[in-house]
Every structure is written in C-alpha cells, then in structure tokens.
A and B are shown apart, each in its own frame.
Chain A
C-alpha cells in the first residue's frame, strides 16, 4: 500500500513557504478546481491547505498598486469598493460559476489553474495586472501575461506561492466592460469573452484602450494593435470601424464542444466591438446576449 499522503494547513506564509521548499504539494484554497479535477478518484497528493492564511485575504492599496490578496474570493471582490476601471473584473466575478463558486473560488486560484477560459484573466490583463510570487528565496513579480504560459501552464515554480495580484494605479483608470458569450445563462464556460478598458480624453475620444480576449487562444491575449488603432477614436461607429478592420490574427481559436473556430472568429469581433462601446458609454454589461 502507498503511504498516507501529507496534509498541512499552515497559519503563516513563512510556514507555507517552508513546506513548499520541502517537496511537491497540491495547493488547496477555494477547492473549486482541485475537487472537480478528482472525479471519483481519491485525493492522493500531498495537500497544502491555504485556508488559514488570513494574511492573503482582502484588498489593500500600496503606494503604486491596488493589491488583491491571493485568497480573495470573487464574492469579496464584488463587495469591495473599487474604481470603475475594475467594472470588467467585477462583471467577470459575477460570471465565475455560480454564487457557490464565487463564495469559495479565489482570484489567484483562477490564475494558477490557467484555463484558457478563465473568466478572471481578460479583465486582469486589461488592468495590466502583475502577480506576486513568493518563495523562501524571496518574492518576484511577473506581469500576468508572462505568468500565463499556455493551456494549464504557468511560470509558478514548485516552491512558489502566489501571494497577491497587483494592479498598478496607473492602470486603474478609465472605465471598463466585460462580455462573456456562452450557451446558457449561468454556470457556463465561455465560448469567447472580452474585457475592454478605455480612458477618454477631454473631447470624449479614446486616449488609451486595453482590450483582452479569452477562450480564443491557449492563453487569453491583449490585442495591442487594435488598442493602438482605437486611440483617438470615439466609442461607437468610429470604434466599430477599427474593430472591423482588425484582422484578429493574434488569436488561435479552436473547434470544441462549445463552438467552432470559425464561429469564435466571427463572434469575437462582435463582442469586442460591443465591449468597446460599453466601456465608452457604460450601461449594463456582463452577458453578451
């Protein structure tokens, strides 16, 4: 018979990092990805239960950043007082699974799970978010775009723990919107999704645009050329024209049970155009349809 696996529930980050330095662990926070992945197999890994790490809960401000603790749940994020630039993230929070999932699932867990359809990723990319990774060797910060390396693949080293997600205050400006396209109303994995954040100039034109698309490539992506093309335009027919002219060739959609690659290519153009309009003139947002 195999040995009984280890279970540890550290109460300090230092303790957690010491354990991570000493072997391979499965980190358990909200449990909303760990348990579904088991199916009917037993949990046979060494489990590092993070749920006593109170230091990782909550949202705070540092000099330059808005700091989202790694254990912050989607519900906690929804309840927080955040500027309009975070509207896309808040709208995404309401689309993560169900209330049950939002009450348990954490922002950091969503990133570490690295699903191509992770709801939290496009809004955080549009906020220029970085992740803070700690180990006994110290702490490093990586742009979220560099942390996510592929489908279920991240830059997290075996001895590292994500302790925070940091949004630079410089990026917490303007307004944002999030649209998720799915085949039913609740509890749905996105066919495609987009977060758009715009800052407007004094004349109401787009000064800066941050556009990120999820579920249309192995990792959600910012659309840098489209962002450039949108600068100087107004949200509406003018921005629609820029979206229509954009080739979207940075995306690599696939055929799966939720939709075809062709459909994703067509639909993403539409929801990007709509998200830009919404961010330019915010109204109801959330579901694409």
Chain B
C-alpha cells in the first residue's frame, strides 16, 4: 500500500459513507474536505486546542491526530451529528447560557461535553473541567460553558418573547447563535469552492535580511500542479499597507528586504494536493541575513533606522502634560516609584486567518475573517491597483479577533491570486504561520512615580513607557497616543506628565490587542497605587475611592466628564473587599505555605478612536413583506454586535426584536459601521442604530400622519399604527418599494464629538468613557511560586446594559485574557509558535466570576450605554499582581508572573528581611 488515496468506509453521524482518502491523512481534513462537514474546526493541527474534537466509537479524539484509515469500520460523530438536524438539549443550553461567543471552539466543546454527558448526565464542575480541559476557548472565559454543561439536562425555560420597546436591557438568545451551536456557522476556512486554487505563502526565515529569487519559472515548471508563483513584482498597486494611512509601511509581499521573521515574500498557488506537498525549503530564494534586534535596547549599534524618516527607530511619540508634575511630586508628602516590563502577548484566537477570494465579473470578492471590512476593502484595492468599487469584502464569521484581525493579513494575497488567475483562491494560515506573521500586544518597558498628600489625595504623577512596535507601524501610533491619556487611571491627577513612544525592532509587528497599551500601563499605575496606600497607611480600596474621578472633574487632558461610574464600581466592591480580606486574614493566620491574597484594580477606557473621527452608519428599512431589514455592518466577532445593535434599533423604532432580519456585514450591502475595535460598536454603531431606528419611526409616523405617541406593530405584511382608539393599517405590499424591496428606509450616521489633542495632549480625545474595578482573590504557593485564582468579583459601569448576558460574557472573557496576561502568556519570537509552548488559560484556570453591572448613564451613549469590550481585560492583571503582593509581599515587575518569577520575587522579599 501507499499513501495514495483509497476508499475508507465508516459510519458518519449515523449514515454509512465511503470516502477516497490517503490512509494517513488527518481525519479532520477528510471530514472538512471530501466529506464537506466543516463543523469540525482546525485550530492548531497539533492536538493543542481541541477544536477538531470528534467521537470515534464514542470516545472523544482530536481528528487532526487521527489517520483517516483509523475511521474504517467505526462510528464517527461530528458536531453535525449531535442533534440530527434538531437542537440537542446541550446545544440549547449553550444558546441559553451564552456559552458560544465567536463559536469557533463551540463544536469541539459540544462534542467533548457530549462524551461526558453520555457517562455522567449530571456532572459537577470538576468533571466538566476534566472533560473539557482539552478544548481551548479564547472568548468566553469558560464560566458560561461550565454552567451550560452542568445544566444541560435541566428543564429549559423558553426565551421570553420580547414586546416592542422591551429589547434593551433584556438578554434574548443571540440572533446569530443557532448556527454556532449547530456547527453550521461559516468561518474563513469553510465553504470554499471545490475548484479553488490552494495558496501557500513563502515566508522569511530570518529576522532581517536581503533576498533575491532564483529561477521561479523553472521551479514552477519542475513542480506539476503548481499553477503560479507571485512575488512583489506582480503587485499592480501600491505595495504598502497599514491601518493608519499616514504610516502605511508594510509590503503585502516584501520586495528585496524583510524586516521580521515570518514576513511574506512569495505566493505559491495550485491544485490543493500539489500545494499541500509544497516544501518551502526547496523554494528558490537566496537570503543575506542582516544585523537585527528584537528589543529596542538590542537594535544593532550604528545601524540605519528600519524605516527611512524614522530616526532612532521611533515611530511615534505620545504625550499628555498638565500642571507641573515634577514640582508637585517634590512637594508631596509621600511618593512611590516603580518600573514594569511586559511581554509580547499573542491573540491566540482559535481560528487562524482564513478566507477565499474570487472574481465576480470585474469585482474581486473576498470572503475572509476580519474585524474591519471597510478598511480591508480600501487597503486591498490600493495594493491591487483597483478602484474601491471593484473590491467587495464579505466578512465570514470571525473565530476570535481581539484586535489582530483589524489589520490586513491574507486579503491582498488571495486577492492577488484571484485577480491574476481569474480563479477562486483559498488560504488558511497554519497555527505557526498565524502566530509568526500577525500582530501581537506591544511589549512595554515602563517607569512611573506617583505622589500624594498626607491625606491620600494624589498630587502628581510621572509616567514614561517604551513600546516595542516591531517591524511595521500597524497600530503603534495608537498605542503611543492612547497610553498617556489613560496612564493616570480613573483618578483625579492635578499634575501629570506622561510620555510614551512606539519604537521599531525586528520583532513581530505589534498592533491592536484589547486595550491598545492601556492594560500594560495600568499594571504599573495600579500596583503603584497599592504601594502608595501602604506608604500612607490607608486602605487600598479607600485610597482609590478618595481619588476617583467624579462628574464635573477634569481629566489630565482637561476634558470635563459626565456620567462617571468609577466610584460606583468601587463602592459596589466594598462588601466583597471586607469579606475577602477577613477570609484571607483567617487563612493566613497560621502561616501556611499556601497564602491567600486579595487585590483590587480599576480601569477606565475611552470608547472609539483617539481624537480622530470614526463614524458609523446604519441603514434600516421595512420591506414589502413586513420584515424589518437591519443593514448592520458592525462585524460581530463573538462579542454580540449583531444582537445588541438589533436590540437598540428595535426599541428606537418601536417594533419587536423578533421582527428584525439582519443583513450583512457585506461591503456591497451594508454601509460602513467602522471597525470592531476600540470598544466602539455598542456606543457608536449603537448610536447610529438608535438614530436610524428613530428616523425610520418618524418616516412611518409622518407617512401615516400619526403622532409620536403611536404604537407600531406588524401583522404579516401589514403595518399597524395605533394611537388611542384610532387604528391605521398600511398594506405594505400596496406601497411603492425601492430597488431592494424596502417600502420605508432610513440611514443615519453618528460620529462621536471629539477634538484633536494639542502638543500637551489637551483636548477631548473621546466622547464616552467606560469604567470598572475588579477584585481578585487568589492563593500563592510560597514554595513553588504557583498562583491559583480563587474568585474574581467584577464591577463594570456599562452606562446601560443593553444585553446583560452578553455583557457578562465580555467580562468573563476579558478576565480570562487578563489571567493569561498576568500569569502565563509570553510570546517569545521564534520559540513559542504553537499552543503548547504559548499557554493561554484552559477551563481549569478561570475561577468563578461574580459580575456586578453598574449603570451610570452616559449622555452620549445610546440609551446611556458605554463600551465594554476592552475595559474588562484591564483591571484583571493588576489586581492579580496586587493580590500576589498582598499574599506574599512580593512585587513581580516582569510579566507574566510565571512560577519562576513569583518564587524569585518571594525569595527577594525574604532576602530583604
């Protein structure tokens, strides 16, 4: 026998199948490819993520590790076979509990949980964790998954049918949830046309190098099945992209020099079998390595800057100054200083970048996972030399994003192949490729001093941070500008000087990652607040409340605030703080090896672009058939925009949520709702949806000549307007419709009122801020340096909780990422390009989370709502650091706080004593 494909017969989801496959092919590839069952997801091809879990004769296995021949004669069950087309009790429970966010890990979790429930119908939490410990989720923080599995066989309560005007503040099942639990959601690597060319990217193996290609045509001719090879020479447009136009500096394919390991230099396209057999080692390219540096202080001495016009490799300097911080600190009663170093952090979404491009007449259509369809469209058009109108971006579901899917990745590459060959072109990054080639959280090296009067009022603060932005600009300018605005924390700071710079290295490109540098800065600021409280002899929570910003206070940018909820968050934590500290004192009284610690930290975060316009537009209409069509272009990457924006629009319009049908996102069908970034969609697109809903309502009312007091209802294709005893019925089918079938339509735009910042960072950088505070209780093993979070209590001011269940999901997921950043996540360039050396939290690493939603309405937000997506991650890591110090006295100043670092810090304290 050989590896040549041969028939393999087995039972698949209850049906007998026979498939031609190479005997040692991965079963996952066979299920997804020839068998067409794409519910089984591929996240790592290494057994590290569990997304491809299937049942073989009832036992759960990673299909990526199973030779296809192994299936012969066996029963294989995939997510598609869990419910026979219906919705199983477990799937319904996932929906009900909000256990699926982006949905990419959901099939694997459902399959693994099914194996558990077959043995143990009423599992406890420990059994659930043991059974699901092999499936990684990056969105949910696992708590709702645990609840969904434990309660899978409980009696389901029907989701209440929400009346008109009752959507905001309720938690309806997410509108896009069913496909996620059925495994039918289409992600970037799903639904590729059978005739698509496969594409592979040739990437640089050096951190810095010049290169020259050999005879590419001869190489291609020697490789049957390879249809084409493309290099920078084939790019018809401007071979530079970047999320901020003024800094666009990254080539889609490098021309003659690469600035980081993993940079794309060439594309190989051809028949899937031939491309699968492609070995980059044989590709004709000669490398001439150049000196390189991976950190700002390790750049080659006397080297030219990586980019012309950026002396000393400084991309951008950011700064905010108010008052005389030096003098205020010198004159204050108490001052504390510190420094903190953080690591590259990888987004580690379970879905690597993937998509397919094809030509629809003259139009290039790209269906790929993304957070920013309109930006993808503009940038891809520029690189490929096409007018914007000839590029259409159809976002697939995104299996997690967290900031990294804002930047272009594969769009210009598959676009180039489709454009040049006229054939569909498909590509899914491998896990290693995704990790090497796409953006990271900026490593930061920061110092700060904070001073206070004897009564604990902050007198002044100095902050300075250097952020390693890697080889290309990406979002480096945003980080350099956002950090100085936020580094004070949500506290009155009358004298302040904060500087930050983004500096190039040959490291991976650092870009957007949930918080844009603010999480790093907050770790330093909030740990110094604890040191300050100790120096003052003031309770750590009380110090924070004493200085918390209040309505009418000015920020360090001179912006006077309204709707400030930080003190309400801190106040809500007070009873938990008292209880936790008492419990810790009791536990620690006998001097145990494992000590309990309690920590607290706050956050604030401006929603939307920093001091720049960032409008969103929403279109909504009523069709002749009586459906309400919401053209919703805000990409839902799991956070819930599809549901939240619809809830807002429904209540603004005055029709029930159930009447709404979502359209898009699709650049051909939906107006630009901006990028899913900067915690802006609920606020900005939500506000546009509120305006559009109200505008549509007014249009209808005016047409029917009734007052704003009228109640709307849909009765099939009839719109019913009731005002007191009067009832007006509009037969929609009898009214003129536009080209898309809409009888009434409204489109509205909202752009938050901000101003540019002056040279001292003074101005109005954001229209809305959100606030939060988290309390972490944890145990530290003082002899091993291991840290086990025990409980997190999170109070977040969301202004108005449009959807409390989704808000909780954001909070729990952000906390999980905060735990990862604090305790285990360290991307070491070139060494951790997989999910077993790069660790993210598993289901056993996230403790119970108690969420307290605070609602201090914001005057700008829709129904008073504020953003939440990034805020939730910010307080977790500093609260963990503060709890470790509370437990042991040890201050960890290099992140993550691995067991080795925690033990070293504990020993350093011992040496001092």
Partner-B contacts on A (CB < 8 A): 1, 4-9, 28, 30-32, 35-36, 38-44, 47, 49, 51, 75, 94, 97-101, 103-104, 181, 183-189, 191, 257-260, 262-263, 266-267, 270-271, 288-289
Kindly list the 6 A-B residue pairs having the minimum CB-CB distance in the complex, ordered from nearest: A98-B134, A185-B844, A186-B133, A289-B786, A263-B900, A36-B46
Residues of chain B within 8 A (CB-CB) of A39 are: 45, 430, 432
In angstroms, Cα B826 to Cα A185, docked, is 17
Cβ–Cβ < 8 Å partners of B900 in chain A: 191, 259-260, 262-263
**Is B23 among interface residues, defined by CB-CB distance under 8 A?**
yes
Dominant SS at the A interface?
A: loop
Bound complex: CA of A102 vs CA of B240, how far in Å? 47
Is A101 touching B784 in the complex (CB atoms < 8 A)?
no
A47: B residues at CB distance < 8 A: 3, 23-24, 67
Please, which residue of chain B has its CB at the minimum distance from the CB of A39?
B432
Q: How far is the CB of B26 from chain A (nearest CB, A)?
A: 6
- When the two chains form their complex, are residues B60 and A103 in contact, meaning their CB atoms are under 8 A apart? yes
Alpha-carbon distance A84/B4, docked complex (angstroms):
47
* Chain A hits for B112, CB < 8 A: 99-100
Residues 83-116 of B at the A interface (beta carbon under 8 Å): 112, 115
Q: When the two chains form their complex, are residues A98 and B1 in contact, meaning their CB atoms are under 8 A apart?
A: no
- B276 near A: Cβ within 8 Å? yes
B250-258, B313-321, B722-730, B831-839: which one contacts chain A?
B831-839
Docked Cα-Cα span, A36 to B832, in Å, equals 14
- Chain A residues with Cβ below 8 Å from B277 are 42, 44
Contacts of B43 in A (CB 8 A): none
B residues less than 8 Å from A103 (CB atoms): 59-61
Chain A residue nearest to B108 (CB atoms) is A100
CA distance A89 to B481 in the complex (A): 54
Known A47-B24, A183-B824: A104·B839 in contact at CB below 8 Å: no
Which chain A positions have C-beta within 8 A of B45? 35-36, 38-40
CB atoms of A31 and B844 under 8 A apart: no
B850 interface contact, C-beta 8 A: no
A7, B785: Cα distance in complex, Å: 48
Whether the Cβ atoms of A257 and B826 lie closer than 8 Å is yes
Residues of B within 8 A of A5 (CB): 2-3
Assess the B134–A185 pair: CB atoms within 8 A.
no
Give CA–CA (A32, B831) in the complex, Å.
21
Chain A contacts for B433, CB-based, 8 A: 40
Whole-angstrom distance between the Cβ of A277 and the nearest chain B Cβ: 12
User: B279 is contacted by which of A6, A41, A49 (Cβ under 8 Å)?
Assistant: A41
List chain A residues, Cβ under 8 A from B714. none
Residues of chain B contacted by A184 (CB below 8 angstroms): 824, 839, 841-842, 844-845
Determine if B837 and A257 form an interchain contact, defined as CB atoms under 8 angstroms apart.
Answer: yes
Contact call B47/A1, Cβ cutoff below 8 A:
no
Contact with A along B833-865 (1 / 0, CB 8 A): 010110101111100000000000000000000
A43 to B432: give the CA distance in the assembly, Å: 17
Q: How many Å lie between the Cα of A51 and that of B826 in the bound state?
A: 38
Q: How far is the CA of A6 from the CA of B277 in the complex (A)?
A: 15
Is B645 part of the contact surface with A, judged by Cβ < 8 Å? no
Name 29 interchain pairs, CB-CB below 8 A, sorted by A: A1-B224, A5-B2, A8-B1, A28-B67, A31-B67, A35-B26, A35-B47, A36-B46, A39-B430, A44-B277, A47-B24, A49-B69, A49-B70, A99-B115, A100-B50, A100-B53, A100-B134, A101-B47, A103-B60, A183-B899, A184-B842, A185-B129, A185-B842, A185-B845, A186-B129, A186-B845, A257-B831, A258-B898, A259-B898
Q: Bound complex: CA of A75 vs CA of B59, how far in Å?
A: 10
Chain B residue with Cβ nearest A42: B277
CA of A4 to CA of B48, assembled, Å = 29
Interface status of B904 (Cβ within 8 A of chain A): yes
Report Cα–Cα, A51/B24, bound state, in Å: 11
Please name all residues of chain A whose beta carbon is closer than 8 Å to the beta carbon of B131 when the two chains form the complex. 99
Q: Which of B594, B784, B837 contacts A270 (CB 8 A)?
A: B784
B783 within 8 A of A: yes
Residues of B within 8 A of A42 (CB): 276-277
Is the C-beta of B458 less than 8 angstroms from some C-beta in chain A? no
A184 to B831, CA, bound (A): 19
Residue B903 CB within 8 A of the other chain: yes
Which chain B residues in 107-156 approach chain A with CB under 8 Å? 112, 115, 129-131, 133-136
Interface centre among B46, B59, B133, B135 (most CB of A within 10 A): B133
Enumerate chain A residues within 8 angstroms of B832, measured Cβ to Cβ.
257
Query: Beyond A100-B62, A104-B62, A183-B824, is A270–B432 a contact (Cβ under 8 Å)?
Result: no
In B288-317, the 8 Å CB interface with A consists of none
Contact B133 A257 (CB under 8 A): no
A16 to B823, CA, bound (A): 47
Task: Say yes or no: B47 contacts A186, CB within 8 Å.
Answer: no
Complex interface bits, B47-59 against A, C-beta within 8 A gives 1, otherwise 0: 1101001000001
Complex: how many Å from CA A181 to CA B112?
A: 25
Point out the residue from B50, B59, B276, B845 that lies within 8 Å of A98, measured CB to CB: B50
Taking a contact as CB atoms under 8 Å apart, the answer to whether A181 and B133 are in contact is no
Q: How far is the CB of B628 from chain A (nearest CB, A)?
A: 44
Q: Are B903 and A263 in contact (CB under 8 A)?
A: yes
What are the interface flags for B774-806 relative to A under an 8 Å C-beta threshold, 1 for contact and 0 otherwise? Answer: 000000010111101000000000000000000
> In the complex, A101 Cα to B69 Cα: how many Å?
18
Taking A8-B1, A100-B62 as known contacts, 15 extra A-B pairs with beta carbons closer than 8 A to each other, sorted by chain A number, are A5-B3, A7-B2, A9-B69, A35-B26, A35-B47, A41-B279, A47-B24, A94-B130, A100-B60, A100-B112, A185-B844, A257-B826, A257-B832, A259-B898, A263-B900
Of all chain A residues, which has the CB nearest B788?
Answer: A289
Question: Is B784 a contact partner of A267 (Cβ separation < 8 A)?
Answer: yes
Question: Measured between alpha carbons, how far is A87 from B854 in the docked complex, in Å?
Answer: 49
A134 to chain B, nearest CB (A): 22
Task: State whether B899 touches A263 (Cβ < 8 A).
Answer: yes
The reply to whether B1 and A289 contact each other, CB–CB distance below 8 Å, is: no
Closest to B781 in A: A289
B19 at interface, CB cutoff 8 A: no
B828 partner, pick from A8, A36, A257, beta carbons under 8 A = A257
Q: A6-B2, A51-B67 are in contact. Are A187 and B899 (CB under 8 A)?
A: no
| Cβ contacts under 8 Å, B826 to chain A | 257
In the complex where A7-B1, A263-B900 touch, is A187 in contact with B133 (Cβ < 8 A)? yes
Residues of A within 8 A of B842 (CB): 184-187
Q: Is B688's CB within 8 Å of the partner chain A?
A: no
A49 with B67: CB separation less than 8 A:
yes
A3 to chain B, nearest CB (A): 8
Residues of A within 8 A of B904 (CB): 262-263
Known: A5-B3, A100-B47, A100-B53. A186 touches B60 (CB 8 A): no
Query: In the assembled complex, which residues on chain B have CB atoms less than 8 Å from the CB atom of A183?
Result: 786, 823-824, 839, 898-899
Q: Is the CB of B783 within 8 A of A97?
A: no
B731 contacts partner chain A, Cβ-Cβ < 8 Å? no
Bound-complex Cα distance A260 to B430 (A): 30
B359 adjacent to chain A (CB < 8 Å): no
The answer on a CB contact under 8 Å between B47 and A185 is no
Is B784 a contact of A288 with CB atoms below 8 Å? yes
CA distance A166 to B608 in the complex (A): 64
Q: Which residues of A contact B66 (CB under 8 A)?
A: 31, 104
Instruction: Determine which residue in A75, A187, A257 has the highest number of CB atoms from chain B within 10 A of its CB, and name it.
Output: A187
Residues of B within 8 A of A267 (CB): 783-785, 899, 903
